[in-house]
Amino acid sequence: MSAIPILKERQKQIYQKGRTPFEMTCEKHSLAGSVSQRACVFCGSRVVLYPISDALHLIHGPIGCAAYTWDIRGALSSGPQLHRLSFSTDLQEKEVIFGGEPKLYQALIELIDTYRPKAAFVYSTCIVGIIGDDVEAVCKKVSRERKIPVLAVHSEGFKGTKKDGYKAACDALFQLVGTGSVQDIAPAGINILGEFNIGGEAWIIKKYYERMGVQVVSVMTGDGRVDEIRKLHGAALNVVQCSGAMTFLAEMLKEKYGIPYIRVSYFGIDDMAKALYDVADHFEDDPGIKERARKLVRDEVNAIYPKLKEIRKDLSGKRAAIYVGGAFKAFSLIKALRYLGMKVILAGSQTGNKIDYEILRDMCDEGTVILDDANPLELSKYIIEKRADLFIGGVKERPMAYKLGIGFCDHNHERKIPLAGFEGMLNFAREVHTSVTSPVWQFVPFRQR
């Protein structure tokens, strides 16, 4: 078996349940020279704002950041498609020396005149502050001249982690909150925060809440529109998924407008049902909501249950490893996998905090490995040791799993199918089944040992 040394500085970010006393370090800056699966501040901002489809997203910097994020997510829009284009100021040496403000100004004017967006987001990349560009000033000027909000997103890559990028995105969003009319919003109105409409997931969730008699005021930011941001303050409750990304916004809405928030997850049957019931509980004055929620859950579960049972026959006892961005998603996945009869032998996240890891530890079976900000060496070491049949992660983990001959389910923002909601649970089960039951695994070298 491979003897892969774990860097000493990394040992405290790895825990094996049942072995050592639980003491996990997390929320650390990635170690120089280790190949982290994390991204940067810019990446955090970009993923949060990406689905806002009637806004211009202009990336201020050299070409790379824009080229690598062009049409990168499966975030669907029911209307405008502007978010699927990639815009960059493509800074050249000349601008690095003399400043990029004139080019930024000209790019904004040209693009706004061509595409008539409802707002523009200007993402600062690494070098923007260093070459001394006053992005705020350019944004203000263009905003005055073109009469649309032009918002600077302070997303210089090196200024923290992906989480700081989420915060920068939320700061930009918050500047628009409170500028729209909230007249037509019913008392039972919610915002769905941290749902990016991957493969149409926001549409699925929205329909559930509407069937319960709850009005969805805004979804942030799936199938998002600028006007939806403007009326976020009109909701009575914020329902936050993808907590890492959107808790910042929920906190700001709570502080300024007194709107409470709850954390939910839409993955798996248990958590999906809980997300509906928790909202119903909030609007307990209208008992009809809870009643309708119960019926909805019953109907939806009945619709998928026979098919899931069939799938479970093949998956029972198979072993899964989970490595995702936020820890909250890992919780749901553990439950969903158990529902399919599978065992979780590794669970980890890029950005979990101490409390997240305590919850993970409590959920997991003895021997499960828990990892924070892992690298491919560590991930592969444990998936071989634990003989995983399935790996759930993002696009960067896929080749590692495949190289070793392990099934894979993409649970990141680049996937194209909806995995949220009850119907999403069925998609998830089918996706897992399609991978795990392939006959190709019988030829895999490490399984023949």
Residues between 158 and 187 that touch another protein (CB under 8 A): 158-161
Question: Closest approach of Cβ 208 to another protein, in Å?
Answer: 14
Interface with another protein: number of residues (CB under 8 A):
89
Footprint on residues 376-405 left by another protein (CB under 8 A): 376-377, 380-381, 384, 395-396, 398-400, 402-405
Return d(Cα 406, Cα 99) in angstroms, integer.
49
For residues 79 and 203, the answer to whether their CB atoms sit within 8 Å is: no
For residues 354 and 24, the answer to whether their CB atoms sit within 8 Å is: yes
Question: Closest approach of Cβ 212 to another protein, in Å?
Answer: 19
Question: To which residue do tokens 């049949």 refer?
Answer: 389
SS3 label, residue 344: strand
Residue 46 or residue 343: which is nearer to another protein going by CB?
46
**Residue 346, phi then psi, degrees to nearest 5:** -150, 135
Query: Is 98 among the residues that bind another protein (CB under 8 A)?
Result: no
Return d(Cα 322, Cα 360) in angstroms, integer.
11
Return d(Cα 237, Cα 264) in angstroms, integer.
12
Question: Closest approach of Cβ 284 to another protein, in Å?
Answer: 30
Return d(Cα 244, Cα 140) in angstroms, integer.
29
Query: Is 67 among the residues that bind another protein (CB under 8 A)?
Result: yes
Footprint on residues 1-20 left by another protein (CB under 8 A): 1-2, 4-5, 7
Return d(Cα 353, Cα 347) in angstroms, integer.
14
Footprint on residues 105-134 left by another protein (CB under 8 A): 106-107, 110-111, 114-115, 125-127, 130-131
Question: Closest approach of Cβ 19 to another protein, in Å?
Answer: 22
Residue 10 or residue 290: which is nearer to another protein going by CB?
10
Query: Is 341 among the residues that bind another protein (CB under 8 A)?
Result: no
Question: Closest approach of Cβ 386 to another protein, in Å?
Answer: 13
For residues 336 and 427, the answer to whether their CB atoms sit within 8 Å is: no
Return d(Cα 341, Cα 408) in angstroms, integer.
17
Q: Which DSSP helix (H) or strand (E) runs through 221?
A: strand 215-221
Q: How far is CA 198 from CA 36, 73, 203, 418, in A?
A: 25, 7, 10, 6
Question: Closest approach of Cβ 35 to another protein, in Å?
Answer: 5
Residue choice 78, 175, 181, 438 for contact with another protein (CB under 8 A): 78
170: Cβ–Cβ under 8 A, 6 or more apart, which residues?
48, 245, 246, 248, 249, 252
**Mask: binding to another protein, 195-234, rule CB under 8 A, as x and -?**
-----x--x-------------------------------
Question: Closest approach of Cβ 309 to another protein, in Å?
Answer: 29
SS3 label, residue 391: strand
Beta pairing partners, 262: 239
Return d(Cα 331, Cα 270) in angstroms, integer.
11
Footprint on residues 22-51 left by another protein (CB under 8 A): 29-43
Question: Closest approach of Cβ 38 to another protein, in Å?
Answer: 6
Question: Closest approach of Cβ 412 to another protein, in Å?
Answer: 10
Residue choice 95, 201, 372, 389 for contact with another protein (CB under 8 A): 95
Rg (the chain; Cα; Å): 23
Which one of the spans 95-103, 187-195, 293-301, 326-334 is the region binding another protein (CB under 8 A)? 95-103
Residue 185 or residue 377: which is nearer to another protein going by CB?
377
Residue choice 14, 76, 190, 429 for contact with another protein (CB under 8 A): 76
Residue 137 or residue 444: which is nearer to another protein going by CB?
444
Question: Closest approach of Cβ 435 to another protein, in Å?
Answer: 15
Number of residues assigned to the chain: 449
Question: To which residue do tokens 């119907």 refer?
Answer: 423
Query: Is 444 among the residues that bind another protein (CB under 8 A)?
Result: yes
Footprint on residues 301-340 left by another protein (CB under 8 A): none
Residue choice 24, 47, 52, 65 for contact with another protein (CB under 8 A): 65
Residue 9 or residue 365: which is nearer to another protein going by CB?
9
Residue 22 or residue 68: which is nearer to another protein going by CB?
68
Q: Which DSSP helix (H) or strand (E) runs through 380?
A: helix 376-385
DSSP state of 75: B
Residue 64 or residue 288: which is nearer to another protein going by CB?
64
Question: To which residue do tokens 């248990």 refer?
Answer: 270
* Residue (of 347, 303, 344, 307) closest to 325 by Cα position: 347
Question: Closest approach of Cβ 27 to another protein, in Å?
Answer: 13
Question: To which residue do tokens 């709107």 refer?
Answer: 259
Footprint on residues 405-424 left by another protein (CB under 8 A): 405
